[in-house]
Amino acid sequence: MFVKNCRMCASERLSLFLDLGKMPPADQFLHKHQLSEQRDAYPLQVAICEECGLIQLNYVVPPEILYCDDYPYESSTTTAGRRHWGEFARTTTRLLGLTSNDLVVDIGSNVGVLLQMFKEQGTKVLGVDPAANIVEIANKNGIETVAAFFNSESAKKVVASKGQASVITGTNVFAHVGDLHDLMQAVSILLAERGTFIIEAPYFLELLHSLEYDTIYHEHLSYLSMKPLVRFFKQFGMEIFDVQLRDIHGGSIRLFVRRIGVSSSPVAPIVEQMLANEEREKIYELDTLRKFAQGVANNRLALRAMLTGLKQSGSKIVAVSAPAKGMTLLNYCGLGTDILDFVTEKSRLKIGRYTPGMNIEVVPDDMLLTHQPDYALLLAWNFAEEIMNNLKEFSDRGGKFIIPIPTPRIVG
């Protein structure tokens, strides 16, 4: 449904600046027998709240549609990702002085990779995730996980069975939530008085700088930056007391949030520094956002021109990796089976299915060497170095990679 009010401050001053058209949900990969079915597509439009500055989608697809029982995303498929989660757990444990008495609860915990890292640091852990198939995998992996959406009701159940949490983490999940006020009420219920709520998500300033428009899809309802978050947390008696910048997912921020007045330690200087930098960069001005939208349109033209030119010259082209962001790129740029022969993947949950919207078959990574096409479009460009190293034999044989963001370019 279209929304008229900002999900943080409730203002009606929402101004549209980017329209990517109608698309199916990015994680609705199809089985072969579903290809003939009529599938729903939903508007993918981005607006700014001119009251608080939050960048957000103005159309919300119900979470029951997005996070189905057959959800095909696992958070453990790259070495770089696992390394990142290990660093997250070690850094947090050290910073907050966590011990075996502390409970860490991860919202949208997926198969439990981050919690596994906390468990190795000696803390108690619990996951909360709405996708039943993913929860089953997590529990088999030895990470206790509850199959539920995180809200006030589920938070009360966790407190009743486990007690309050010293740390609540939400990595790439806070931006997925439509009712942020209910989320914060649930956090307030579950979080211990002197506990810490930690959010990690792509940073909108980096998205803007590097033209990362493929990071925009229906699951990502909000695009986070400091100014609206500082204002939002104050509504719940909370404050951002530290920030860490991380290079994962094209540039992310890790925010440490606590109740106001519970600690004598000051707010880290980086908080004010980042607020000032956002103002200097004019990221809340419509002129800046409209220039970004024009850059997005230009990228589509350039990428399509490159790929159609290569195809017309007789080259074989495939895509490598099938992340959700790649589905935005494929659908917005209209890249279907007329351009791409197939998409390769290492995730067993996606292999054998077809991409939403463009209906391109997803096959195992080794098919890249079996067929040895001329070019491979790298959809998970944020893990480009690792993927290209893993598929070095492809380039050794003369194959070339195409990195689409921020400017389409051929590598190798």
Q: What is the pLDDT along the chain (412 residues), one digit of tens a residue?
A: 899 999 999 999 999 999 999 999 998 999 999 999 888 999 999 999 999 999 999 999 988 788 655 555 555 556 777 888 899 999 999 999 999 999 999 999 988 999 999 999 999 999 999 888 889 999 999 999 999 999 999 999 999 999 999 999 998 889 989 899 999 999 999 999 999 999 999 999 999 999 999 999 999 999 999 999 999 999 999 999 999 998 876 689 999 999 999 998 999 999 999 999 999 999 999 999 999 999 999 999 999 999 999 999 999 999 999 999 999 999 999 999 999 999 999 888 899 999 999 999 999 999 999 999 999 999 999 889 989 998 999 999 999 999 999 999 999 7
pLDDT of residue 185: 97
63 φ/ψ angles, rounded to the nearest 5 degrees: -60, -25
In 3D space, the residue among 187, 184, 196 whose CA is nearest the CA of residue 102 turns out to be: 196
* Axis crossing angle, helix 113-120 with helix 79-96, rounded to the nearest 10: 50
The reported pLDDT for the residue numbered 174 is 92
144-198 per-position pLDDT tens digit:
999 999 999 999 999 999 999 999 999 888 998 989 999 999 999 999 999 999 9
Domains and CATH numbers, the chain: 313-411 (3.40.50.720)
pTM, rounded to two decimals: 0.90
Q: CA Rg, the chain, in Å?
A: 21
Over residues 249-301, the pLDDT tens digits come to 668 999 999 999 999 899 999 999 999 999 999 999 999 999 999 999 999 99
